[in-house]
């Protein structure tokens, strides 16, 4: 009989530890709903004690998700466990995930605790969490650099204390597949009560081995794999969900004794959603979901694929939900076809949002011969993040050139009033941002600016992403338009509105 592998998605927790990523409650909910549709077994929604915002987000995910377990991470301390339970208690299937480092390096320099103290704390905190919740996961942080005898002992201890899942993280991505597989095999063979629990693994990608290590662990007895969409996560990220799943599926001949419940058709859509909500673009050559993953550039490959796809394609684009659409959408298309396409792309917008998106689609279609799925996604993905538009763009006028100083006149709408400012700058975008800085009534630092074309051709939509710093926190803003200055202004305003939505409008005119 095949072994059922559980997928534990930590995009909303470890994925959010990606530098520069900061997801608000609406964004976490939207991603969680898509993860549920994808079929993940566990959604780690956040770290409830980290901030009031993260607490509310974990709670909201717990309240809304029915078909996946919802977990919150917490340190092995009572107040963290209390807060985690406060947030996940609403879930149909709640889990408390507590962790404590077990390697000599972490115990000595970070925790300043002895082995005995770590053992006692881990057991005590699992017992404490068990008072609240049936399902308790314990992670031995930095397990792959832990003395194995101590690792076996602490695993046995936390299982006796009530843990239902023991997680073996390769916290710093140090292991190799053979080594990590042997570590899991050793745990299976040496921990007396191990058959009572799921063995989980959580692999980081510092040496690019996270997926290989996860699969090696699975072959050697791990039944839960922790991963993130697009491989997001602390430093070089975590094992990528889509690579693990498509690895198992594509190499059914090799991994023939394992099954999972992921609906692979949802992979591409999930990747796009996570990329747009986090502001982290997927590298073009990324396995499975990169823009080039199914592209063929060179003649010999093109000839091969034209003769028989399997010459150079080991999986189909359709298997991850990338479809070639039959119906072309352009300026003569109607609302029915547009709404149908939105549904196919996974967006269930309310009537007002559909109306707004349809208007934007029509004005884009006036400028572009054919509006592609990627254009539509770019147009609507701002809507699902649901940031209140305290400042809206009314109009802008820019002049720039190689012999003149760039200047801008920007009008924004706030509370129904139009406010206007002019400014100069080092280029059209700088001039526009300077004018907006005068209008918004607070200062913030622009940390990053990136521009990419959503589709090919000179009529392509430009997508601008900005990262700004305000009160020691990063905020991402996105904007799309066929005019790159307009896309830049929209991205900046989107970041401004996010700052206000998170920090409150009392920051205006501070």
Ligand X SMILES: CC(C)C(=O)C(=O)O
Ligand Y SMILES: CC(=O)SCCNC(=O)CCNC(=O)[C@H](O)C(C)(C)COP(=O)(O)OP(=O)(O)OC[C@H]1O[C@@H](n2cnc3c(N)ncnc32)[C@H](O)[C@@H]1OP(=O)(O)O
Binding residue positions for Mn(2+):
14, 202, 204, 238
Interface with ligand Y in residues 163-182 (CB under 6 A): 171
Are 49 and 79 in contact, with CB atoms under 8 Å apart?
A: yes
Does 99 sit near ligand Y (CB under 6 A)?
A: yes
Q: Which stretch binds ligand X (CB under 6 A): 165-173, 352-360, 448-456, 475-483?
A: 165-173
* C-alpha separations of 442 from 65, 411, 418, 486, 498 in Å: 37, 17, 18, 21, 13
Interface with ligand Y in residues 6-45 (CB under 6 A): 14, 17
Q: Choose from ligand Y, ligand X, none: what does 139 bind? Cβ within 5-8 Å by kind.
A: ligand X
Does 48 sit near ligand Y (CB under 6 A)?
A: no
How far apart are the C-alpha atoms of 295 and 184, rounded to whole Å? 37
Q: Are strands 406-414 and 392-399 parallel, antiparallel or unpaired?
A: antiparallel
Q: What angle do CA 6, 43, 120 make, to 5 degrees?
A: 80
26, 39, 63, 77: which one contacts ligand Y (CB under 6 A)?
77
φ, ψ (nearest 5 deg) of residue 176 = -115, 160
- Which residues lie below 8 Å from residue 457, measured CB to CB, with a gap of 6+? none
Shorter beta-carbon distance to ligand Y: residue 153 or 362: 153
Rg (CA), the chain: 25
Does 14 sit near ligand X (CB under 6 A)?
A: yes
Does 141 sit near ligand Y (CB under 6 A)?
A: yes
Tokens describing residue 204: 């980081």
* Minimum distance from residue 30 beta carbon to ligand Y (Å): 21
* Minimum distance from residue 338 beta carbon to ligand Y (Å): 41
Does 146 sit near ligand X (CB under 6 A)?
A: no
Q: Choose from ligand X, ligand Y, none: what does 100 bind? Cβ within 5-8 Å by kind.
A: ligand Y
* Minimum distance from residue 262 beta carbon to ligand X (Å): 21
Does 262 sit near ligand Y (CB under 6 A)?
A: no
Interface with ligand X in residues 176-215 (CB under 6 A): 202, 204
Dump the DSSP string for 300-320.
HHHHHHHH-GGGT-SS-GGGG
Give the residue carrying structure tokens 């100069």: 424
* C-alpha separations of 474 from 136, 446, 477, 495, 498 in Å: 32, 10, 10, 9, 10
How far apart are the C-alpha atoms of 164 and 232, rounded to whole Å? 26
Q: What residue is closest to ligand X based on CB?
A: 169
Shorter beta-carbon distance to ligand Y: residue 97 or 467: 97
- The footprint of ligand Y (CB under 6 A) covers 14, 17, 47, 49-50, 75-77, 99-100, 110-111, 141, 171, 234
- The footprint of ligand X (CB under 6 A) covers 14, 99, 139, 141, 167, 169, 171, 202, 204
């Amino acid at each position: 009989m095949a072994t059922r592998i559980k997928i534990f998605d930590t995009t909303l927790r470890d994925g959010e530890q990606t530098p520069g990523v900061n997801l608000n409650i609406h964004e976490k909910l939207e991603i969680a709903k898509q993860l549920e549709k994808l079929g993940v077994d566990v959604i780690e929604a956040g770290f409830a004690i980290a901030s009031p915002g993260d607490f509310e987000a974990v709670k909201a995910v717990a309240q809304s998700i029915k078909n996946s377990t919802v977990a919150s991470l917490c340190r092995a301390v009572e107040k963290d466990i209390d807060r985690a339970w406060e947030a996940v208690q609403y879930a149909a299937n709640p889990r408390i995930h507590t962790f404590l480092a077990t390697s000599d390096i972490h115990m000595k320099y970070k925790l300043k605790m002895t082995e005995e103290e770590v053992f006692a704390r881990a057991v005590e905190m699992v017992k404490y969490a068990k008072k609240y919740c049936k399902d308790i996961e314990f992670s031995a942080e930095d397990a792959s650099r832990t003395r194995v005898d101590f690792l076996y002992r602490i695993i046995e201890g936390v299982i006796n204390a009530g843990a239902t899942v023991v997680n073996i993280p390769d916290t710093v991505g140090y292991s190799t597949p053979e080594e990590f597989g042997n570590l899991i095999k050793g745990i299976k063979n040496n921990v007396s009560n191990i058959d009572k629990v799921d063995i989980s693994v959580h692999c980081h990608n510092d040496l690019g081995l996270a997926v290989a290590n996860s699969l090696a662990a699975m072959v050697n007895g791990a039944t839960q794999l922790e991963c993130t969409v697009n491989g997001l996560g602390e430093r070089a990220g975590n094992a990528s969900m889509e690579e693990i799943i498509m690895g198992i599926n594509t190499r059914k001949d090799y991994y023939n004794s394992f099954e999972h419940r992921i609906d692979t058709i949802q992979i591409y859509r999930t990747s796009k959603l996570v990329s747009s909500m986090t502001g982290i673009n997927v590298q073009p050559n990324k396995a499975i979901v990169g823009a080039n993953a199914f592209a063929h550039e060179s003649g010999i490959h093109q000839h091969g694929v034209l003769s028989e796809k399997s010459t150079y394609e080991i999986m189909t684009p359709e298997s991850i939900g990338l479809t070639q659409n039959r119906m072309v959408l352009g300026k003569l298309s109607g609302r029915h076809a547009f709404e149908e396409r939105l549904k196919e792309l996974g967006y269930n917008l309310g009537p007002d949002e559909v109306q707004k998106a349809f208007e934007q689609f029509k004005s884009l279609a006036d400028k572009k011969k054919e509006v592609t799925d990627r254009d539509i996604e770019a147009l609507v993905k701002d809507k699902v993040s649901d940031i209140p538009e305290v400042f809206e763009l009314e109009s802008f006028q820019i002049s720039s050139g190689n012999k003149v100083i760039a200047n801008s006149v920007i009008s924004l709408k706030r509370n129904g009033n139009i406010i206007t400012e002019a400014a100069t700058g080092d280029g059209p975008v700088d001039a526009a941002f300077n004018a907006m800085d005068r209008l918004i009534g607070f200062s913030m630092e622009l940390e990053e600016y990136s521009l990419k074309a959503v589709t090919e051709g000179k009529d392509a939509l430009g997508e601008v992403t900005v990262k700004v710093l305000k009160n020691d926190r990063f905020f991402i803003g996105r904007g799309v338009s066929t005019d790159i200055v307009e896309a830049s202004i929209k991205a900046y305003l989107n970041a401004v509105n996010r700052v206000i939505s998170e920090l409150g409008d009392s920051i205006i005119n501070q």
